[in-house]
Amino acid sequence: MADALDGAAGGDHRLLGAKGELLEQARVANRSVIGAPTLPAWQRFSGVVWNHLDHASLSPTAKRRARSGVLVISALTGVSGVTDPLPDHRLKLSADLAPLGRLASWWRPAVSEVLEAPLRRRLVVDLLPNEHRAACHVDADRCDLRRIRFVDDSGRSIGHDAKAAKGLFVRALLEADDPESVLCRGWTHGDLTAVQD
């Protein structure tokens, strides 16, 4: 992945979905991922979901649960845990990066294999967006798979607007002694409700 990013000069606007100064910063970071300074994933990833999860303020018990139970599908690393060290980078799983091709498809065999053992016979709460879900196969026959989506008062699925709810939902799961109490009570945030597919 590092070689492909270097070969693409860190990526262009189309690959990275950025412009101007942000694009230039992303290109520099992408060209130097090997040996670059790292941060734990929960600090490296930013955005609405991570801000609302607010890992730093979780209780010690919830932080332990996050360390052992939260996995992140990443275009750079395939799979990372919340405390795994990650360099600065910008890359989407929907990107098509030569010579690897579409990154979700390229990662899918390796990510699926890596996830098979840790997910076996466990409760798996899938909050992945479609491009991340395309990068792995989770065998629902080998785990207790719950795919969650957020709907508004009319029952319509909400995508982008549900990012804050996702972060808060994961936080509620991690803080709960019994995750089923969160999964089964019709968890809500504003006018959004978490429902299982």
87-140 residue pLDDT tens? 999 999 999 999 999 999 999 999 999 999 999 999 999 999 999 999 999 999
pTM of the model: 0.90
Asked if the structure places residue 186 within a domain, the reply is: yes
Cα 55 to Cα 42: distance, rounded to the nearest angstrom: 7
Q: How many structural domains compose the chain?
A: 1
Alpha carbon distance 35, 128 (integer Å): 29
Q: Give 9-55 as a DSSP string.
A: TT--HHHH---HHHHHHHHHHHHT-TT--EEEHHHH--SHHHHHH-G
Domain, as residue range, for 180: 39-196
pLDDT at 160: 67
8 A C-beta contact, residue 116 and residue 138: no
Residue 176 domain-assigned? yes
In a domain, 187, yes or no: yes
What does the pLDDT look like over 23-82, one tens digit per residue?
999 999 999 999 999 999 999 998 899 999 999 999 999 999 999 999 999 999 999 999
Q: Is 145 strand, coil or helix? A: strand
